[in-house]
Structure 1
Amino acid sequence: MNNISATAGRVQGLDRKTLVGSDRFRFPLRGRSAEAEVIAAAISDVDSGESRIVLLRGVAGSGKTRLLGEILTSTSRSGWRAVVAVPDPESHLVPTAVLIDAALAAEPPLLTAADVAALATSPDSRYWFIQMYRNAVEAAAQENSFVFIVDDLQWADAASIAILRSLVSSMGDLPILWAFAARTGEHDENVRAALSEWATEGSVIEIESLSDDATVDMATDLLGGVPDAGLEATLRRAENLPLLVSELVQGLVEENLVTVDDDVAAVRDAQIPERFGASIRERIVRLPRRAGHLVQVASILGRNFSVSNLAELLGESTSELIDGIDLAIQADILVNGSPLKFRHDAIRETAELMLRPAIRTHLRRRAADIRLRSGEPLLAVAASVADSAERGDTAAVDLLHDAALQLAPVDATGAAGLANRAVELASSPDQYGLIADLIPVLWVGGRVDAAKTLAHGLKTVLSPADRARTQLAIARLETESSFAAAIATADEALAMDGVPLGVRAQLLAVKTLNLANIGDYTRLGESVVEARVAAQIAGDVAALATVDATESVLRFYEHRWADASRLIGTAVASMSRLPGFEAAQWLPEGLWPAFLANAAGEGREALRITEGRIEETQRTRSAIALAFWTMVKCRTLFDLGDLEEARAQAETVMTMAADLDLGDFAQATAGVVLYRVALLEGDYAACQAQSGKVRAMADSAALRLTGSWLLALTADADGDTESVMTWTAGAYETLEVPTPSLMTPADTADDALLARMWHKAGATERLERLAAVSRFRAETNPENALVKGIDAHIRALLSDSVDEMRVAVELLRTTERPLALALALEDLGLAEMKAETGGQEQSWNEAADILEKHGAVRDANRVLRHLRGLGVRRRAKASEQHSGMLSARELQVAERLASGSTTKQIASDLSLSQHTVLSHVRHIYEKWGISTRRALVERVARRAG
C-alpha cells in the first residue's frame, strides 16, 4: 500500500485542544518572561511580513507545550491560520502520518482526505506530498499570517522531518511562524540535522527549570494560597519543573496533605517522593488495583488507544473496563475521548516502566498483533514488533520484511533497521529467500557491510536461481557507487551453474552498462555481443534494449553517430511494444535520445523531446523521472545559449535533489551547468561557492575528467595557463579513446574551447592530436554542420588560417549554438588582426553582440577589450543578473506574485515547474535586495505607479 494513503488518519484528535484544552492553561504563565519576549518578537516580525523560526528545547515536563499553547493562543487572537502537529513515540516509523493528520485536523482543514487519497497512485508520493503541502501553506499564508507548530519533534518520522526542512527552507519569504519543541538529549540523525539547521536560522529558547519565586507563584495559582516556608521547601523537591510541581501539588491536595488558611498554604507532611516521576508513580499506585493494572497495560498501546484494543489485550470485555477507565480519567491520568489518550507522555512512560520487563515485552508483542487486526498500518506497529519479538518468530520476520520494503522509499535508514532486525530473528530455512529480498534495503540504508555479510552467508543455502537474483540486485546497487564492483559481482554470478536465462541476460546487460561507465571499451565490444545474444535467447526485451542503448553510447563516442541514432531508436521502439511502457520512466537509457540529439547540435529537437517527457512525468507524478528529464533540459538550454533559463532549471534540479536524495548525479549534471553559467556570467562568488564540489568531482574516479574540465575552464578564465595544461592532461590522454574526455555526455563544441586553451599555451602536439580526432569525426559525420564547424575552428587555430576560420564561422551560423559562433567570431578577429587583412572590428562587434545578448558577461568583456585595443569605445551592457534588471520571465513571475497568484498558479500559467518559479523568485529577491513577498508586492506597486 502507498505510504501516504496508508498513514492517513492514524493519529487522531490533533487539534488546538491538544495545546490549550487543559485546565493548566487557565492559570498565568509563570517564570517565562524572557522566553515570552522572544516569542512576542517573532510574532511581531511575522505580522510585518517576515518568516521566523522559534525552537524550544528542554527536558520532559519543563513547559515546552505550555509555551507552544501560548503561541497558539496569541496568534489565534489575531486571526492567524494554524497547523498543530504532535508526533508520538511510534511516529518515527509511520511516514508523513503526523503531517497528514495535522493538516486534516486544522480549522479549517489545510488538506482534505481527497487530497491525500489522490497521492495513492503516485510513484513518488513524498515528493508530490511536499508540493501539495507547500501549496496549501502558501495559499493560507498569502491570506494572513500563519503559524505551524510541532510539539515533541524528537518523535517525528524521517519523511516528516525532511518535508518540514524543505518547507521551512523554501518559504522564507512568507509570513509564517515555525514553532518547534523538542526534548533535550540524544536524537537520531534526521532530528539532529533539523535541530541544527533551525537553531542556526532561528531563535532558540532553552527551557530551564523555573526559579524558586516562579515555582512559588505557580503553586499559589494552583492552591489559591501563598506557600509558607515549609511548603516552599517541599516544592523544591520537584526540581522546579512545571510538570512535577503540578503533579506534586495535585498529590498534596488529593492526600489532604496541605491546608490553606488566610491565603497561606501549608504542608502537613513532608514525606514527598523526591526523584523525577515518583509523584506520577504514586498516583498510579493509589488507584484501585484493577484500575492501576489497566493503566499500565494501556501504556503498551501508545499515547492514543481504543477501548476495544485494550479490552482484547487484557482479555476482558469492554464493559468490564468502564470503572477502571473512569477512575483513571478522574485521576487526570487519561483524557476522555475517542480514542482515549494519556494526559502526558511522562505519565505513559512511567506506567510502562512499572511493568516487569518480561511482561512488558510479552504484552508489546501481543499488542502489535491486536493493533494490526484493528486496522492500524503495518509501519505503526513495526517498531513494537522489532523491540519485542524473539528469534524464531516467523510472523515477526514476515511483518518486518514487509514493513522494511514499504518504508524503504521514504526512509532508507529506518527501513534498514527493520531489515536488520528481521535478519536477526530469522531461523527457518523457509525464510531465507524472503530475507534475501532485504539485501538491497540494507544496502541503500547505509548498512553495506551487513548486506554483503548477508549475501555471503546465504550463498550456501539459496538455490542458484535465488542466489543469481541476489547478485543481480547487488550489481544494480553497486552501479551507483562502484562500476568495477558491479562488474565483479555480475561476473561472479555469471560463473555459476543454474542461472536462469532471463537473469543471465540481465546480469550481462548490467555488466555491459558498467563497462561503458568505466570506459573499458576493449572488453565492452565483446560484452555487447555476448549480452545481445543472451537477451535474444532469453527473449528479454528490456535487457536487449539496455544493450542497444549502451551500444548506442559506444558508437557515439566512436563518432559513428548514424549508428548511435539507429541503435537508440531500435531500443526505444522495442521498449514501446512492452505493455505499460512509458518512455519518460525508462531511466537512464531513455534519456539518451535527447542527449544524443543535443550533442549532435539539434538542441531544439532535444528540447522538444525533453519537454514532452517532463509533461508526462508531471501527469503521472513521477518525481525521480521529472528530476532526470529536468537535468537533460538544463543541459540542453545551456548548449542553446539560454543561460538564464538553464540556470533556473539547474537550480530546480538541485532543489529536487535535496527532496529526492539524488546524490552526486545531480551535481554531475545540473551542478556542472550551474558552475559553467556562473563562469560565463562572471559570477565569481557563485563559482567560489561551488568550488568545493568541483574539486570533489576532480578527485573522484567516476567524475575525474568532468571535474578537471571545470577547473581547466576556471584556470583559463584566470589566465593561468600552467594550471590549464595540468587539468587538461587527462583529456589529452583519452582523446582517441571512445569515452568522454571532458563533460558527460560529451559536447563537440567544448573541443573548440579546449583547442583555444592549447593554442594559447603553444601546446602544438596536443592541438595536432585534437585536430586529428576532429577531422575523423567530421569525415564520419559529413552532414553535421556543428561537427564540421568545430572541426574547421580547430584546424584554423592549428594553421592560423583566416580563410579556415571564416569557413568555421559560416558553418556555425547554420547551427543552434550561438556561444560557439561567438567564440569563432572572436578567433576570426584575432586571425584577421594577425594577418592584417582587416575586418576584426566587425567580427568582434558581432561576437560581443551575441555574448551580451545571452548574458555571457565574462566573455563579452574579453571581446570588448579587443575592441578597445582598436580604439573602439563601446559601453558594456550590464547583464540582468548583475544590474538589478529583471528578465522578461522574472518580470512575469513578479507581476503575478504581486497580483496574489500562488506558486502553483504561476507554474500553471507559464508552463513551468513550481521549483523553477521559486528559482525565479530567488533571483528577483537577489536583484531587488528584498527578502519577503510583502516587499515584492510593494516594489511592483511602485513600478506600476
Structure 2
Amino acid sequence: MAVEEKARNLPSRTVGALSPRGDERHGPEPGGPEPRGREPKPRGREPELRGRDAEVAELAGRIARLREGCGGVLLVEGGPGVGRSRLAREARAVAESFAVRVLGGTGEPDRRSVPFGALLRALTSGGRPVVDAGVLLTLSQSAEQRFWLLRAVREQLARAALDRPLLVVIDDLQWCDDGTLLALRTLPARLSGHAVLWLATVRTGAPGADVRATAAALAGAGTGARTMRLGRLPEDAVAGIARDLLGAEPGRDVLDLLRRAEGRPLPVVETVRGLLREGAVARTGAGAHLTGRPSPIHSHGPTRRLLERLSPLAREVLETASVLGRDLEAGRLADLGGRPVAEVVAALQEAVDADLVRPTDPLTFRHGAVREAVRETVPAARRRALRARAADLDLAR
C-alpha cells in the first residue's frame, strides 16, 4: 500500500484502536435494554478523539511523508480545554504506527528554572538519548556556549533522522523555559531538510514576548511549516464523547448540561466523569439521563473529593508530584520524599485506580486541571522547598 493511501486510511483505524473497550462504546449489549435506573460505570480510559477527523488526517499525512524524508513544523494553537494535548497524544500514536521515533517534552510552569528542561526531556525520552550525554549536560549548565551546543544538537538530530524519522513533540509551549524557546526558534528551520517533524502546542493568546516570538518563528520555519488552529467541537462530537464515557446514548437533559462547555472537550469529559462519580446520571433503557439537579460544569470539586478518599501516603505523593510537573516518576518522587520506591509505586497505583492519574508511560496527571487542583492544597512554603530540592536533583541528573 502506498504511503499516501495508508495515511488516508489511518485515522479511522487509529481512532478505533484507541477507543475505550471498543465494543462497549455504542451502548447496551445486544440482549435488550438494561434495567431502568441502572447507573453507568465510569470509563477509566481516555475517550475516543471526536470531531477532529480533518486534523488527524493531516497529522497522518505529515507523519507518512516523514518516511520520504519530508520534515517540517506543525504548530497547534487553541484556547484552554480545546484539546491541544489530546491531539498531540494522537500524533504520537499515529507516529508509532508508522515506526517513526517519537521524542516528547512538556513545558511545566514550575520547572522553567531548569535551562533547556523541556528540550532535554524530549531528547532523552523514548529510550536511549538521541544526543550525546556530554552535550546534554553542558547544555543544561553553560549559557556561554549555547550557540555551539545547539549546533551540536542540530547535527546529532540530523544524524539520528538518517537512521529513523523523528517526531519531536513539545507540548504547552507557553510554559517552556527560555532555553527551550531559544532552541525552538533555531533548530526546526535549520533541520527543515531532514526527516524531522516538530509538533508544538501553544495556548492561544499566551503571554510573554519570548513565547510569541517562538510561535511566530515556528509558524514561519520554511515551506514545511503549518499552523493548525483548534476550534470548538460540533454538537454531534460532544454527544459522541458523552456516549463513549457513559456507555449509553446521552439524553437531552445531559446534552443541555454539556452545552455549557461551549464545545471544549476537556470540560465535556470532566462534566461527564463528575456526573458518574456523583451518581448523578442513570441509564434508562438505551439512554442515560440525569437523576437530579447536577453540579455546574465540573472542574476542581470532584478532584478534591477524590483526594479526601485517598490514603495519607497517596495524597502526599500526589501533592509532591503536583508541584514538580505533569509526569509522575516513582524514583524521583521516592528520592524527594525519602521513601522506598515500592511504597511510592503502591501510592501511584491507588491514584490510578481513583482516576486521578493516567496509566501511561510515564504516568501523568489525568489533566492539568487535576494537577492544579492538587497543587492548591500544598502550602506555599512547602512548594518552594520542593521546587528547590527538585531543581538540585534535576541538575545532578
- Residue 183 of structure 1: CA displacement? 1.9
* Structure 2 match to 1:242: 265
Structure-2 separation of matches of 1:93 and 1:282: 32
1:367-411 C-alpha deviation (Å, 9 max, x unpaired):
345446x73439x9xxxxxxxxxxxxxxxxxxxxxxxxxxxxxxx
Structure 2 gaps of 5+ residues are 1-17, 21-42
25 and 71 in structure 1: CA distance in 2 versus 1, 3 angstrom threshold: farther
- Residue 180 of structure 1: CA displacement? 0.7
Asked if the contact 1:248/1:279 (under 8 Å) is kept, the reply is no
* Structure 2 match to 1:732: none
Secondary structure of 2:393's aligned partner: coil
Asked if the contact 2:303/2:373 (under 8 Å) is kept, the reply is yes
Secondary structure of 1:92's aligned partner: coil
1:656-692 C-alpha deviation (Å, 9 max, x unpaired):
xxxxxxxxxxxxxxxxxxxxxxxxxxxxxxxxxxxxx
Structure-2 separation of matches of 1:140 and 1:107: 13
Asked if the contact 2:116/2:140 (under 8 Å) is kept, the reply is no
1:340-388 C-alpha deviation (Å, 9 max, x unpaired):
7533222111222345xxxx3222233345446x73439x9xxxxxxxx
* Structure 2 match to 1:135: 155
Structure 1 gaps of 5+ residues are 1-19, 381-945
Structure-1 separation of matches of 2:242 and 2:133: 44
Secondary structure of 1:105's aligned partner: coil
Instruction: Tell me if 1:151 matches 2:171.
Output: yes
Structure-2 separation of matches of 1:106 and 1:327: 26
* Structure 1 match to 2:227: 204
Structure-2 separation of matches of 1:106 and 1:294: 25
Once the two structures are superposed, the pairs formed by residues 61-460 of structure 1 within 5 Å of their partners are 61-107=81-127, 109-117=129-137, 124-201=144-221, 202-274=225-297, 276-284=299-307, 287=310, 295-296=318-319, 298-304=321-327, 306-308=332-334, 311=337, 326-334=349-357, 341-354=364-377, 360-368=379-387, 370-371=389-390, 375-377=393-395
Q: Which amino acid aligns with 1:116?
A: L
- Residue 189 of structure 1: CA displacement? 1.8
- Residue 56 of structure 1: CA displacement? 0.9
Secondary structure of 1:73's aligned partner: helix
Structure-2 separation of matches of 1:177 and 1:320: 39
Asked if the contact 1:83/1:148 (under 8 Å) is kept, the reply is yes
32 and 121 in structure 1: CA distance in 2 versus 1, 3 angstrom threshold: closer
Structure-2 separation of matches of 1:280 and 1:38: 35
- Residue 166 of structure 1: CA displacement? 1.2
317 and 62 in structure 1: CA distance in 2 versus 1, 3 angstrom threshold: same
319 and 35 in structure 1: CA distance in 2 versus 1, 3 angstrom threshold: closer
Structure-1 separation of matches of 2:111 and 2:122: 13
* Structure 2 match to 1:525: none
- Residue 181 of structure 1: CA displacement? 0.6
Q: TM-score, normalised by structure 2?
A: 0.74
Overall identity of the aligned pairs, in %: 28
1:560-606 C-alpha deviation (Å, 9 max, x unpaired):
xxxxxxxxxxxxxxxxxxxxxxxxxxxxxxxxxxxxxxxxxxxxxxx
125 and 336 in structure 1: CA distance in 2 versus 1, 3 angstrom threshold: farther
* Structure 1 match to 2:62: 42
- Residue 228 of structure 1: CA displacement? 1.2
Aligned residues: 352
1:272-293 C-alpha deviation (Å, 9 max, x unpaired):
2336544444444565788657
41 and 324 in structure 1: CA distance in 2 versus 1, 3 angstrom threshold: closer
Once the two structures are superposed, the pairs formed by residues 511-590 of structure 1 within 5 Å of their partners are none
Structure-2 separation of matches of 1:307 and 1:71: 29
Structure-1 separation of matches of 2:71 and 2:369: 33
RMSD: 3.8
Structure-2 separation of matches of 1:39 and 1:113: 31
Asked if the contact 1:304/1:339 (under 8 Å) is kept, the reply is yes
1:489-528 C-alpha deviation (Å, 9 max, x unpaired):
xxxxxxxxxxxxxxxxxxxxxxxxxxxxxxxxxxxxxxxx
Structure-2 separation of matches of 1:375 and 1:289: 25
Asked if the contact 2:116/2:177 (under 8 Å) is kept, the reply is yes
Asked if the contact 2:299/2:369 (under 8 Å) is kept, the reply is no
Asked if the contact 2:320/2:386 (under 8 Å) is kept, the reply is no
Q: TM-score, normalised by structure 1?
A: 0.34
Asked if the contact 2:75/2:226 (under 8 Å) is kept, the reply is yes
More helix per residue: 1 or 2? 1
Structure-2 separation of matches of 1:283 and 1:237: 23
- Residue 79 of structure 1: CA displacement? 2.2
